[in-house]
Structure 1
Amino acid sequence: MTQASRVDESASGVYIISATPFTDDGALDLESTDSLVDFYLDKGVAGMTILGMMGEAPKLTEEESLAFTRRVLQRVDGRVPVIVGVSHASNQHVERLAKASMGLGAAGVMLAPVPNLKTDDQVHGYYAAIARLLGKDVPICLQDFPQSTGVYTSVAVVHQLVDEFPQIVMFKHEDLPGLRKLSQLRTQSEAAGRRRISILVGNGGLFLPQEMLRGADGAMTGFAYPEMLVQVCDLFAQGRPEAAEDAFDLYLPLLRHEFQYGIGLALRKETLRRRGAIRSAAVRKPGPVLDATDKAELTRLIGRLEARLAMRASS
């Protein structure tokens, strides 16, 4: 197995948030893990992030997390960097999973704060403690997702952490609304001559064009049509923002539909199943289950997207 280089501040493009495939009865599906990795690579992603919140990481045992990580890294075989989500209430668990993942060939780890930290000092203290625990050889992506964690990470705290810990090389921006925060991260950092880190954005890619215009380097999110995310980021890299937004707009109805809280993961997995990436759309219990109306609605949206893509191809 070939190991990809470790992720650093230059990371850009699409680091797809991978789903975690299960069988219909809820067992980890390693065969579909292989096909899903192949699907993502075929769509041109620059990297992958596994065991994220939409990867159902909290529903996996520690043994399952390592088995899935090992299988993904074997299948990727160094072709793109793989970042492993290690967020957990226990610092010891974070350390074990992070160091085990790096030993298997991961390019870095992603870390969200434990829930309900209230002050800047508490947020800084948590991240600082983990950074010291993992050491300078483990690249860290800070995940800023207050809608899920209940933790607000201020611009000042991000800057302080970047200054203190060179292993913090990436920021996953998912605050909502967060466009102004993204601008502040970039402009204040530049004005102070601070080390520039990679900023990749989440929230399903729903605001990707605006975030790219405000200084994001790419996306770290999941969408069942990752080729759109790749195309949009590539067009921005080529200096063609209008073409990027035109491409984005074609997929927007389906992207918006998949973004729904509660049911979004089930919709994403069903679309991935229909596209041949995984064998089952099962979400591990407890989790959402689509009914007949949900599936018919998804069929209609996919059909409309495919029709628009066909029209664009023929024009």
Structure 2
Amino acid sequence: MTPTKISETSKGVYIIAATPFTDSGELDLESTDSLTDFYLEKGVTGFTILGMMGEAPKLTEAETLTVMDRVLKRVGTRAPVVVGVSHASNRHVERLSKTAMDQGAAGVMLAPVANLKTDEQVFNYYATVAKLLGPEIPICLQDFPQSTGVHMSVSVIHKLIDDFSQVVMLKHEDFPGMRKLSEVREQSMAAGRRRISVLVGNGGLFLPQEMLRGADGAMTGFAYPEMLVQVCKLFDGGRNEEAEDLFNVYLPLLRHEFQYGIGLALRKETLKRRGAIRSAYVRRPGPMLNGTDMAELGRLIQRLERRLAELA
């Protein structure tokens, strides 16, 4: 059975998967398996692997292929898997994208290369890659200017949607970007344009507001993915107030995990404490938590668990 490809109607939670390492910094494939199972048990709709949170730039090409093969085989047909293929080399993007699709991926996620300054440059970059990949490989545009330094305007997003049918999803991660999300939806509707899937990132920090502005779900890596799943389902069912109340229970920990600099280390430590991975190691160069950081995180987790017990 062939896995379902991502499409304009994709929605729900596509978890940004961490890449587990051992305490010495080597790939931990047993933890890759246990983390994959953890995400599935929490009810995620799909996966996004080898993204920025997955520390993809720190992996060798051989390690990239190993992680991709391991996750795709573990997930099988149970959920769609989007593979991050962003790279400075178009040839690398093409090779990895085609390999991923041959092995059962549902699509690829692509951020613009650095130093694109104009709308024309951004459009031409994506146009070139889209032609290389062909119409059979679904593309998720990753709009993450805080990391790439590239601003993707609403007009460029719409032109790419109009010109390339394989552009089926936007990972919306501009910051602040809620007005941009509204403009994408409103201008698209006004023009009778093809509606694509929009999944939001930024740790899920603004998920309730973004869902109300037209997002279809989340593509982020919060260490309590069951919250993201439940909130998106509640919004999808029109139970908006209930969704936001639930979100607010997790907000202190979610906000803490979102910190630039040490956020990934906090996320991995939480996943370790939840039994999903064996080591919280972040490959160097990367953040390390000190004793105060660890105690602070533990206190927030305890407060969350106590509150969840009260609600239960």
* TM-score > 0.5, shorter chain as reference: yes
Match of 2:29 in 1: 30
Q: Quick one: distance in 1 between partners of 2:268 and 2:248?
A: 22
Q: Quick one: distance in 1 between partners of 2:49 and 2:2?
A: 16
Q: Quick one: distance in 2 between partners of 1:101 and 1:231?
A: 29
Q: Provide the secondary structure at the position in 2 that maps to 1:267.
A: helix
Q: Does 1:84 align with 2:57?
A: no
Q: Which amino acid aligns with 2:55?
A: E
Matches within 5 A, 1:207-246: 207-246=206-245
Q: Structure 1 residue 3: deviation in Å?
A: 3.6
Q: Quick one: distance in 2 between partners of 1:18 and 1:3?
A: 22
Deviations along 1:70-117, whole A, 9 cap, x unmatched?
000111011000000000011111111111111111000000000121
Match of 2:254 in 1: 255
Q: Quick one: distance in 2 between partners of 1:115 and 1:89?
A: 8
Match of 1:186 in 2: 185
Matches within 5 A, 1:27-176: 27-176=26-175
Q: Quick one: distance in 2 between partners of 1:275 and 1:308?
A: 17
Match of 1:271 in 2: 270
Q: Provide the secondary structure at the position in 2 that maps to 1:235.
A: helix
Q: Which amino acid aligns with 2:23?
A: D
Q: Quick one: distance in 1 between partners of 2:4 and 2:172?
A: 23
Match of 2:194 in 1: 195
Q: Structure 1 residue 4: deviation in Å?
A: 1.3
Q: Does 1:281 align with 2:300?
A: no
Q: Quick one: distance in 1 between partners of 2:34 and 2:235?
A: 29
Q: Provide the secondary structure at the position in 2 that maps to 1:54.
A: coil
Q: Which amino acid aligns with 1:153?
A: M
Normalised to the residue count of structure 2, the TM-score between the two structures is 0.99
Match of 2:303 in 1: 304
Deviations along 1:247-297, whole A, 9 cap, x unmatched?
000000000000001100000000000001001000011111111111000
Q: Quick one: distance in 2 between partners of 1:72 and 1:210?
A: 32
Q: Which amino acid aligns with 2:230?
A: Q
Q: Quick one: distance in 1 between partners of 2:210 and 2:59?
A: 32
Q: Quick one: distance in 2 between partners of 1:296 and 1:155?
A: 42
How many residues align? The count is 312
Q: Provide the secondary structure at the position in 2 that maps to 1:22.
A: coil
Q: Quick one: distance in 1 between partners of 2:201 and 2:292?
A: 28
Q: Provide the secondary structure at the position in 2 that maps to 1:142.
A: strand
Q: Which amino acid aligns with 1:156?
A: S
Match of 2:293 in 1: 294
Q: Provide the secondary structure at the position in 2 that maps to 1:53.
A: coil
Q: Provide the secondary structure at the position in 1 that maps to 2:221.
A: coil
Q: Quick one: distance in 2 between partners of 1:126 and 1:257?
A: 35
Q: Quick one: distance in 2 between partners of 1:275 and 1:3?
A: 32
Stretches of structure 2 that go unaligned for 5 or more consecutive residues are none
Normalised to the residue count of structure 1, the TM-score between the two structures is 0.98
Q: Which amino acid aligns with 1:102?
A: M
Q: Structure 1 residue 134: deviation in Å?
A: 0.5
Deviations along 1:160-212, whole A, 9 cap, x unmatched?
00000000000000000101100000011011110000000000000000000
